[in-house]
Amino acid sequence: MSLKLHARIDQQMDDSDLFFLIQKSNKEAFTIVYNRYHKQLYLLAYTYLKDRDMSEDAIQHVFSKLWEFRKDIKIKVSLKNFLYTITKNYILNQIRDNNTAIKKNYELALSVESYEDNLLDIIEQKELMKLFRKALEMLPLQKRQVCLLKMEGDLSNQEIADKMQISIHTVKTHYAQSIKLLRAHLGKMLISILFIILS
């Protein structure tokens, strides 16, 4: 690991660097990971437990274990998947306590296997799309329409120009300006991820 212990910590650090610092008892790195994954893991827990308090308890348990055993944990997968696995194991333990309601919710959530396997990715995409939609609403109407037709409608510049009755040059200008505004609002990394999701 090339990361120095006293390197400046920021929100854009990748998970492997943050986990390295967590293992060195860095609370700031732990807080960043907590804030990064709390909502996603909560939604994951709630999908099965259908109870807000129990879902929050599950997440607190997951992160308390991460901190408690930080020096002993050996992660062979990504930190995201590691947290996902701990959360799932906690839910399974709740089911073993013979709670019929929880078991029923869990079985229902597992009824579509492919959905369950990709649940965390689906949650992430939904959260990203919410941010994207919110950013789109900040654009002027015509720029917003061009973006939607190009990104979601998958229309060419000519098709957009014909549909909106504007010139191709105007379409290109609106799109370029829109991307610039979206990047300023969402950040370059986030807008790149959204393009992958929308493609």
CATH number at residue 39: 1.10.1740.10
Q: Which of 5-9, 54-58, 194-198 has maximum average pLDDT?
A: 54-58
Residues 47 and 132 in one domain: no
| AA letter at 117 | D
Domain end among 91, 112, 133:
112
Residues 6+ apart with CB under 8 A from 144: 136, 137, 178
Q: Are residues 108 and 126 in the same domain?
A: no
Domain annotation covers residue 38: yes
Which region holds residue 73: left if phi is over 0, alpha if psi is between -120 and 50, else beta? beta
Q: How many CB atoms lie within 10 A of CB 15?
A: 20
Q: Which domain holds residue 169?
A: 121-198
- Final residue of a structural domain among 73, 90, 112: 112
Question: Which residues are CB-contacts of 61 (< 8 A; sequence separation ≥ 6)?
Answer: 90
Residue 156: half-sphere exposure toward Cβ, Cα within 13 Å? 3
- Residue pair 147/139 in contact (Cβ under 8 Å)? The answer is yes
pTM > 0.75 = no
For position 115, what pLDDT does the model report? 45
- Helix (H) / strand (E) element for 141: namely helix 141-151
Is 192 among the domain residues?
Answer: yes
Identify whether 30 is part of a domain.
Answer: yes
Cα dihedral value 120, 125, 131, 132, nearest 10: 170
Residue 6 lies in a domain: no
| pLDDT at position 92 | 80
Expressed in angstroms, the distance from the first to the final Cα of the chain is 34
Residue 1 domain-assigned (yes or no):
no
96: helix, coil or strand?
A: helix
pLDDT band at 189 (very low <50, low <70, confident <90, very high): very low
- 150 with 125: CB under 8 angstroms? no
Which of 112, 131, 159 corresponds to the end of one domain? Answer: 112
Asked whether residue 106 falls in the same domain as residue 135, the answer is no
> pLDDT class for 75, splitting at 50, 70, 90?
confident
Task: Yes or no: say if 194 and 130 are a contact pair by the CB < 8 Å rule.
Answer: no
Give CA torsion, residues 186, 151, 118, 107, to 10 deg.
Answer: 110
Q: Which pLDDT value is given to residue 112?
A: 42
The rounded distance, in Å, linking the Cα atoms of 190 and 181 is 13
Residue 177 placed within a domain: yes
Query: Are 25 and 105 members of one domain?
Result: yes
Structural domain count, the chain: 2
Q: Are residues 130 and 176 in the same domain?
A: yes
Between 90 and 123, the higher pLDDT residue: 90
